[in-house]
Amino acid sequence: MAEQQRSDALKFYVNGKKVTVSDADPETTLLGFLRQSLRLTGSKYGCGGGGCGACTVMLSRYDPQTKRIHHFCVNACLMPVCQLHGAAVTTVEGIGSTKTRLHPVQERIAKAHGSQCGFCTPGMVMSMYTLLRNKPQPTMEEIRETLGGNLCRCTGYRPIIDGYRTFCESENCCQVNGSAGCSANGDGPLEPAENGQTETSGKEEFLPLDPTQELIFPPELIRMAESEERTTQTFRGERMTWISPVSLDELLQLKSQHPQAPIVMGNTNLGLDIKFKGVVHPIIISGFRVRELFEVTEKPEGVCIGAGSSLATVRSVLEKCVCSLPAEHTQTLAALLEQLSRVAGEQIRNVATLGGNIASAYPNSDLNPVLAAGRCSVVLLSREGKREVPLDKDFFVGFGKTILKPDEIVLSVFIPVSRKGEVVRAFRHAPRKENALATVNAGLRVWFEEGSNVVKEMSVYYGGVGPCTVSAERTVQQVIGRPWTEATLSDAYRALVDEVTLGASAPGGKVMFRRSLTLSLLFRFYLHVLQHLKDTNVSEGEIPSEQLSAVEHLPNIIQPSYHEFQDVLSGQSEQDPVGRAVQHQAALSHATGEAVYCDDFPRTQGELFLSVVTSARAHAKITHIDVSRALSMPGVVDVFTADDIPGKKFRFFTGIAEEILALGEVTCVGQMVCAVVADTKPHAKLASAAVKVHYEDLPDRIFTVEEAVEKRSFFLPQREIQRGDVTKAFQEADHVYEGEIRLGGQEHFYMETQSMLVIPLGEEKEMKVYVSTQHPAMVQEAVAETLGIPSNRVSCHVKRIGGAFGGKVTKTSILASITALAAWRTERPVRCVLDRGEDMLITGARHPVLGKYKVGFMSDGRITAADVRYYANAGHTPDESVLVIEKILLHIDNAYNIPNLRGQSAACKTNLPSNTAFRGFGVPQTLMVIENMVNDVAVVLGRPAEEIREKNMYKETSLTHYKMEFDPENLLRCWEECKERSELDRRRLDVARFNQQNRWKKRGIALIPVKYGIGFAEGFLNQAAALVHIYKDGSVLVSHGGTEMGQGIHTKVQQVASRELDVPLSMIHISETSTSSVPNTCPSAASFGTDANGMAVKDACQTLYKRLEPIRKQDPNGTWRSWVAKAFLERISLSATGFYRGHDLYMDWVKQEGRPYAYFTYAACCSEVELDCLTGEYRTVRTDLVADIGRSINPSIDIGQIEGAFMQGLGLYTMEELKFSPSGVLYTRGPGQYKIPAVCDVPLQFNVYLLSGSHNPHAIYSSKGVGEPTLFLGSSVFFALKEAVAAARSDAGLSGPFTLHSPATPERACVACSTRFTQMIPQEETETAQPWALELP
């Protein structure tokens, strides 16, 4: 049989070395091959779907026809290894290393402090490297665009942009387009500021970029391309066969023989189906080597582009045509270019093809509506012959379906030039400004009678409002034959409302918004055409000035940003690094791909891979688990259930039991039921999908907090706190107002998914656990208790973590316990690395919260009483929810001294995955409710919100509502300095003027304070320990209980040790965090890691320094090395432990008083936004942030933490949405559906100032915790948006407080604007229709 024949040899190069593969499997991706076969682990697995860019590599190919070498970046996670024949792959390891020489692109991101956890850094490096290979002096716009396909969850992107703008060609790129902290082409670094210094050095401090030193393209590949006989290649895997023909005839013959076999080009659709939907194709046909599919022919009547051309190639062809043709012929070409610039990221555009985009027929395809509107056609080919068909309403026949016959292929696409009097435009709206699938898009064309404004022909096509591309034919008929006027279009709007409809349960939801977008985009087209008629002298009418904003783009030029921090203390030694902007200790390792993460550890002999089986029901009894099919599959070793656990089957996080694996009943979709172990990850994944769990559904599923309240479903205790007489104060208030706000959850989206490796040592029941966790001691304890062995047999090791944000504590310990169970039972090493979708489903998120408030206030703005109730959706198990609702109440006052205040909070038990700790731990939710309440007070009184905020702030040494005394001086200083730095008073006038002059764009500005308590209210969690060794050569090894997850704790601890021992940083090393070195550690959380562990290391170092004192006195002119050597000879111990007891913090909920925090971190932030009222899209124009973090130990790291937290908050409050189906299934399981901020979302001007002259006696070296507090300041963008929406509502005749829930997505912002177009959409009857998604919390 053909399937039993041998596979052909696959030849390509990786980093200049030849690779020959004789058994290539079609299901193997380049990423898997690099990491497992070649041990090149610099390229990371972040999502597996081409959405995050962590796996970016450069692919190079030689074109024998043009004799040119092409370099382009790709996502290795989607690139089939079978497609690499004749290609050269360059990974991050291939461009430079710390062992040989760094590449400038690696050095500059490190020196600019552009890496924190470092997991995304190799992908960023390779995207930029590819750009530089193609254009050694890029523009700032090209840099921004090339980084658009890469996500980072830590940095906030600003330092990455700063580092890479030093490559800019422009002499003044930094002054025009970027940070004032960059001197791109000057004679040297910028002068230090009065109270700080710029962060990015001058060019002469960087390695120069020398294109002559790059890896050459392998000559053998050129010879292969020029002379090798081109023959069909066949690669056979376990389940699929890949056939790669070289001629068009052979391709057609294969398609005729295998009509159901898909043709793969870029693998951006097919790869996702195989990976995430379990689709299996016995035969896959690759058209990549068929030259006819890539031919481009330019004719006077248009351009014909081969269907195999990548979107990047199409863009290049169109740009050339637009430049060479008369303007009147380029309407369709320019419209397509407009769409292509925002389709996906650079990596996807480089491989996704024009033909694939058409043939896949996705309903929200960005190109198909434009191609259809622009009178384009396609050539279809089969063995039966050729036919050319128009791309119109008849071409797309359903979801993912076209008129293509099973044996037909798309050969080429013809794009005609536009005719005189023809106008074509393309529009799109997406959840994120760039690199996101469209919510709604449109292609619109109108052709006028010669010399008039009477419509001769018109096409209107939409994507995203039906199962396929939709033609609005009835709407068009309202326009044809009539003049292009508002009256004509008004009839068209009415027809469009009736023609394009969506049911309440339409997939994707957002029904009202999507329908209103069809009207808004048509209106925008109307104005564009009006302008065109004026410009071509057909009509004298022009767009009214107040309407012009509808056709103007939102601002997108990155402006100079500025960062300021305190200088070190006068007289401080040059060697003392404390207070200096020291580079992250692993920055260069991050940038070179040398940094080792949990899944980078080499495979060991006999290692197995674990895959978990999760519940498919929200509330059901498990009647049977059928593992027979799974056990019979290749490579499968065993399946484990709760019955196999030898020790405890539960974990206790807040005193309530949580099952490790389900015992008889499941209470949410995504609960772990059992686990499969197999010899490889693919085998384990296939086997886990084959496990059949039989259920018997149980009644009374609960999903929302309202349902939980109705059924009294809570995790106890509920909490309440009060000061003053709230009831009496309400009676005496001039005004009383009641309101509410809903806050959605937030996925952690750490770049490195949950990862662990458990190795049984085979002796004395010992287990080594390598894991990505914030709490090694909890993992150690969990594994020991699960296996029923003492903790001293389990050692837990954490090298570094690729981001965590609170999400790698509780669920990580459970996953580690399951993995350890498998290792225990099989007596073999077991690795578990969750896929992104699994991770998002299993591990929970930030708690969604419903906040209800009643507020009493006086006419002068003083708030005299507030009664606030919080309902947090905890999910199906308690996790840390009770602690979260406690912290919610402890921060209920934020910065405000409200004399009569009552708060109540409840953790609602529902049948959703358990929510857990997330950066801020409830504080971002509680403060959002309070600030929304204050905002409503301002609206009721008709005063600026900052005036009400300022009037109610703590003004002098005060008691909080839990009777803790504090001095708000620095809070007020942050507020006043932020007002001054942001020029708030002047800009508020500018905003008012802008809003008066613009109907469809509105601006808003908001100033927000934060008072954030640092430390654990549970006093025992504030302790820390350390172990410091000095070796005979003088080198120092430091171990402490904190884990490095990007926050820079290792770097700061090294700075502490350097100061205390008076040795250079270069002599100090931190290898890992290990329970064998430092036992009984507390979690790295609550912004307290450096506070606690820094003090423990300081204690140990002081002990050692004191021991060496007699030696130093004996030989005062000696060196550190000589003193250490002498101490060893004199038998002085060169090892010491350090301990920090921590503050005695507590909270007595019975007495409603305590000291739950060591101190407060203060900050204030002012943000200005510009909002497009027609689509809800916005840009953050400028952000000024002033933070009091005491005396910073490392300003560059702290500013990075501030910026990263702010961007995470911006995502929480304006972008990120978790969506669940009505049956409790999580829809949003990856970057394709869940959008975190990208480069395009960074404030165009982002200024950060560290408050000067601040001291903090409660923490090491007078510093303060910084990781969490500024996340809430992302809400300044929300409230600026809300102000912009209020301005739009004012134009619509609406006033007073209004509801805007969080996140303020474009959908919510647009609907709240209540424009004429949203008002035209009838309110659907929703009582009987089931919505597409749950309305949480």
CB neighbours of 67 closer than 8 A, spacing ≥ 6? none
504, with CB counted inside 10 A (0-12, 13-18, 19+), is middle
Which 3 state secondary structure label does DSSP give 524?
Answer: helix
Annotate 284-318 with b (16+ C-beta within 10 A) or e (fewer): bbbbbbbebbbebeeeeebbbbbbbbbbbbbbebb
Here the tokens at position 1319 are 């008002």
DSSP letters, 1005-1037, are: EEEEEEEEEES-SSGGGG-EEEEEEE-TTS-EE
Are 888 and 922 contacting, i.e. CB atoms less than 8 angstroms apart?
yes
Which of the following is catalytic: 1268, 1283, 1324, 1335?
1268
Are 163 and 169 contacting, i.e. CB atoms less than 8 angstroms apart?
no
Residue 1217 annotated among the catalytic residues of the structure: no
Q: Taking phi first (over 0 means left), then psi (-120 to 50 degrees means alpha), and beta for anything else, what does residue 464 get? A: left
Which residues, listed in sequence order, are joined to residue 379 by a DSSP beta bridge?
A: 388, 412
| Integer Cα distance of 836 and 784 in angstroms | 28
| Integer Cα distance of 775 and 917 in angstroms | 12
CB neighbours of 655 closer than 8 A, spacing ≥ 6? none
CB neighbours of 110 closer than 8 A, spacing ≥ 6? 163, 583, 584, 587, 588, 590, 591
**What is the amino acid identity at position 720?**
E
| Integer Cα distance of 757 and 735 in angstroms | 60
Here the tokens at position 965 are 């005394």
Which residues, listed in sequence order, are joined to residue 447 by a DSSP beta bridge?
A: 422, 457
Give the up-direction half-sphere exposure of residue 380: CA atoms within 13 A in the CB hemisphere. Answer: 17
Handedness of CA 876, 879, 880, 882 (dihedral sign): positive
Pairing outcome for strands 422-429 and 665-666:
unpaired
Handedness of CA 779, 780, 785, 789 (dihedral sign): positive
Which residues, listed in sequence order, are joined to residue 59 by a DSSP beta bridge?
A: 72, 89
Are 52 and 1235 contacting, i.e. CB atoms less than 8 angstroms apart?
no
| Integer Cα distance of 60 and 959 in angstroms | 65
Q: By C-alpha distance, which of 1159, 1144, 1165, 1145 is closest to 1265? A: 1159
| Integer Cα distance of 1004 and 1282 in angstroms | 7
Here the tokens at position 386 are 């050729």
Are 1221 and 1334 contacting, i.e. CB atoms less than 8 angstroms apart?
yes
Q: What Å distances lie between residue 600 and 615, 829, 831, CA to CA?
A: 29, 15, 11
| Integer Cα distance of 285 and 287 in angstroms | 6
Look at the block and give the residue holding tokens 């019979």: 632
Handedness of CA 418, 519, 743, 908 (dihedral sign): negative
Peptide bond into 64 cis (omega under 30): no
Are 30 and 84 contacting, i.e. CB atoms less than 8 angstroms apart?
yes
Look at the block and give the residue holding tokens 């904190």: 1042
Q: By C-alpha distance, which of 1156, 1172, 1242 is closest to 553? A: 1172
Q: What residues are annotated to the active site?
A: 1268
